Amino acid sequence: MTREKFTMAETPELPPIVCAVDDRYVSPLCVFMQSLSAAHPGLPLRVIVMHQGLTDGNCHRIHFHAERLGLRAELRAAPGVDPRYPVSMWVTDATYLRLALPDVVTDYPLALYMDVDLIVLRDLRRLLTTGLDGFPLAAVRDPLNPTLGTGFGLPGWQNLGLPASREYFNGGVILFNLPECRRRGTFEASQRFARDMPRHILFWDQDALNWAVDDTWLRLDRCWNTLSVSALSETFQDWKYLAEDVLPFSRLIEDERTAAVFHFAGPLKPWNPDYPAGPARDLYASFARQVAGSEPLAGVTEEKA
């Protein structure tokens, strides 16, 4: 694919891309930025990194790579996470930093939140300029949990009075309409749900946001958040896909070849040695090698908290 080079004169101001990390996710953030820059040569996208006290070394590392890649990165401290929010499996409470987004990003009406366990493969400008038409957010229906009745999102949804047919979005890529979220109290409702209804939470703030928007969200094309489902099916032999009648699994496999954003969601991460070999791992490794190869021998190595 031929890559177009952009100039500031040709490109209007775009919403910022917002990520949230703790110290252990700084390396994936740098790989994410490497892929973001590669998909937008010459376009100085703004990246806001929400955090709660990164080490000085990791702050320096983020700024080093952003400058190298021509990105405008800004680190912003987020409020403390409520200790009553439930965490489990492979996440820490940093997963809830996203719920502080309207308090941290007050200078932009729109913001594209992106997890850092993903890589960008195509130009995001069409996504960044999506009209939200009064919706609080735009997201991709979760391919593994497309509806409440065919997935695991919002456990106990029946007791919440929700229908089995209600669609459920993945939180890895969300375009937020912040004024509308504030008007509706979307984030406050998410915070209350996470705090007061832990028995209905499996996927952390993603469940809380799905509850809070009450199904009033704009559906995006799956290319903007394509999950690495082939790796899941190869690794977990007893894993069963429950949504064949809603979205055939073969379609999800086909999506991996046309992804604009490739998301390594779930417990399997491509930077871990047990991630299955194949095109997805090779693709991630190609960006990771560029990051590693650009780092000086001293001063820009990863620090862990």
Task: Report the pLDDT value the prediction gives residue 236, as an integer from 0 to 100.
Answer: 63
DSSP 221: P
Residue 183 lies in a domain: yes
Domain count within the chain: 1
Task: Report the pLDDT value the prediction gives residue 266, as an integer from 0 to 100.
Answer: 85
Task: Report the pLDDT value the prediction gives residue 152, as an integer from 0 to 100.
Answer: 94
Residue 1 lies in a domain: no
Residue 302 lies in a domain: no
Residue 174 lies in a domain: yes
Residues of the chain falling short of pLDDT 70 = 1-12, 235-237, 297-305
Residue 3 lies in a domain: no
Task: Report the pLDDT value the prediction gives residue 6, as an integer from 0 to 100.
Answer: 46
Provide the domain limits for residue 60: 8-294
Pairing relationship of beta strands 17-20 and 46-51 according to DSSP bridges:
parallel
Residue 30 lies in a domain: yes
Q: Which two tokens stand for residue 126?
A: 């069409």
DSSP 167: B
Q: Which two tokens stand for residue 96?
A: 């809830």
Task: Report the pLDDT value the prediction gives residue 211, as an integer from 0 to 100.
Answer: 98
Residue 55 lies in a domain: yes
Task: Report the pLDDT value the prediction gives residue 92, as an integer from 0 to 100.
Answer: 81
Task: Report the pLDDT value the prediction gives residue 11, as an integer from 0 to 100.
Answer: 55
Which domain CATH number covers 108? 3.90.550.10
Q: Is the CB of residue 71 less than 8 Å from the CB of residue 45?
A: yes
* Spatial separation of the C-alpha atoms in residues 142 and 170, rounded to whole Å: 4
Residue 227 lies in a domain: yes
Residue 223 three-state SS? helix
